[in-house]
Amino acid sequence: MGGLTNELTSFIKFAKAIDARNSCNGKHSERVAKLMVDFAEHLAFSREEINLAYLSGVMHDIGKIGVPEIILNKPARLTKREFAIVKRHPGVGAEMLSGISGFEKIAEAVRYHHERVDGKGYPYGLQGQRIPFLSRMLALCDAYDAMTTIRCYRKPFTSDRALGEIAQLSGTQFDPEISREFTSIVVDSQGV
């Protein structure tokens, strides 16, 4: 990804600006990116893979540029129509990133980060190992941050409660092996 410094910096700023549109969790992508880096380091990824993990985290919601703020900041359950609009963001984000040389794996991670190992995710209903590894990591980091930070429609969960939810959803929403590894790094970081 060398030689993309200006373009990369612009995309990161753009992704952060999109996050700022959400009044309830304005630094979500930065937190997800940090979780992705911590996770990638725990899994002994190479420096290049850690960079890809970071960029996937910071850019994962870039497709929300197409989601109206009234939906992003809604303090109640989304309607089916509103949720259908939100569900477009992985594809929109992947399309934005896919034309940039060196961003292919980032675009892939973004496109599939709402897939579930049981096939009930979106946009394609992929199952298990058909979901790229980086996307399975991203799904978990994204969900953990969403659970443990304030949302327009609910208070944050404690870390313990979020890890309990992850354990309960392991094998359906989340990859079981990735869930175990993620839980161990969160527990280790809390000194438990």
Query: Could you report the per-residue pLDDT of 154-165, keeping only the tens digit for each?
Result: 789 999 999 999
What residue numbers bound the domain in which 117 lies? 5-189
Domain total in the chain: 1
Res 43 pLDDT > 50 = yes
* Helix/strand/coil for 135: helix
Q: Once rounded to an integer, what is the mean pLDDT over residues 15-26? A: 73
- Which CATH number is 185's domain given? 1.10.3210.10
Mean pLDDT along residues 2-10? 66
Residue carrying structure tokens 């049981």: 118
0.95 surpassed by pTM: no
